[in-house]
Amino acid sequence: EAQVTQNPRYLITVTGKKLTVTCSQNMNHEYMSWYRQDPGLGLRQIYYSMNVEVTDKGDVPEGYKVSRKEKRNFPLILESPSPNQTSLYFCASSFRGTSGRELGEQYFGPGTRLTVT
Amino acid sequence: EDQVTQSPEALRLQEGESSSLNCSYTVSGLRGLFWYRQDPGKGPEFLFTLYSAGEEKEKERLKATLTKKESFLHITAPKPEDSATYLCAVQKTSGSRLTFGEGTQLTVNP
């Protein structure tokens, strides 16, 4: 079954304790992305990756890191989480279009609800 | 500044009562406009991609259209199972970022 998986699904942590949220896709997609969703602010892109070893900032990258060492995996790292990073996080993946720039339909993971106290 | 604005924020319809959702955008060059559906507690689910003004796409009771400044998602004879939040997103020609609107929460009453 084609899918994007995220782990953990729920996480409660304390300020400053480093954490990693994993994301994996089994569709051989080139493009992967992380979003956060907050009430009243909608979905905002954190980082995206066009392919292995190629990552770029989205609209809200501060406080986050990513890496893309393998095509299927795109972990999100919070080196020193703060309460303002409490949010619902989604990973997504898609193919790139024939020109290499268009995005195909994105498949989203089930979400990770993070609470930082 | 790039902006994507969806209206209305919330919409209540009776089953069978057709309506439209709006997504207006201001970006410096549009590469693609996407519509997604999101059910509570789940990730968004892809509906349509539109690339150029005048383009239309249909899927069951949904039809998406695109002009140079906005997109409409028309819902014909909706059913309760169409209740969800509908999101639109734009990709600019200058990059691979996606900017989402805040969504329209649709409720269809039986």
Q: Which two tokens stand for residue B103?
A: 């969504």
For the cut 80, the answer to whether the pLDDT of residue B66 exceeds it is yes
Distance CA A3, CA B94 (A): 29
The structure tokens 């902006």 sit at: B3
The number of residues in chain A equals 117
B60 contact partners, CB below 8 Å, separation of at least 6:
none
Q: Which two tokens stand for residue A96?
A: 């790139």
Model pLDDT, residue A101: 72
For the cut 80, the answer to whether the pLDDT of residue B91 exceeds it is yes
Nearest to B108 by CA among B87, B77, B62: B77
B50 touches B57 (CB < 8 A): yes
Within 8 A of A109 by CB-CB distance, chain B residues are 43
A103 touches B98 (CB < 8 A): yes
Q: Where do the H-state alpha helices sit in chain A? A: none
Nearest to B1 by CA among A46, A39, A59, A37: A59
Model pLDDT, residue A102: 77
For the cut 80, the answer to whether the pLDDT of residue B77 exceeds it is yes
Distance CA A112, CA A36 (A): 9
Please name the residue of chain B whose CA is at the shortest distance from the CA of residue A38: B102
User: Closest to A102 (Cβ–Cβ): which among B31, B41, B101?
Assistant: B31
Query: Touching check for B40 and chain A: CB below 8 Å?
Result: no
Model pLDDT, residue A69: 97
Chain-chain contact of B96 with A4 (C-beta, under 8 angstroms): no
Within 8 A of B46 by CB-CB distance, chain A residues are 105-107
Distance CA B42, CA B44 (A): 7
User: Closest to B42 (Cβ–Cβ): which among A50, A59, A110?
Assistant: A110
By DSSP bridging, strand B3-7 and strand A19-25 are unpaired
Model pLDDT, residue A53: 92
Torsions phi, psi of B46, nearest 5? -65, 140
For the cut 80, the answer to whether the pLDDT of residue A9 exceeds it is yes
Q: Which two tokens stand for residue B16?
A: 């069978």
Q: What is the pLDDT of residues A62-113, one digit of tens each?
A: 999 999 999 999 999 999 999 999 999 999 999 887 676 778 889 999 999 9
The number of residues in chain B equals 110
Model pLDDT, residue B14: 98
Report the pLDDT averaged over residues A29-38: 96
Q: How far is A35 from chain B (nearest CA, A)?
A: 10
Nearest to B39 by CA among B110, B109, B103: B103
A34 touches A108 (CB < 8 A): no
Chain-chain contact of A111 with B44 (C-beta, under 8 angstroms): no
A108 touches A55 (CB < 8 A): no
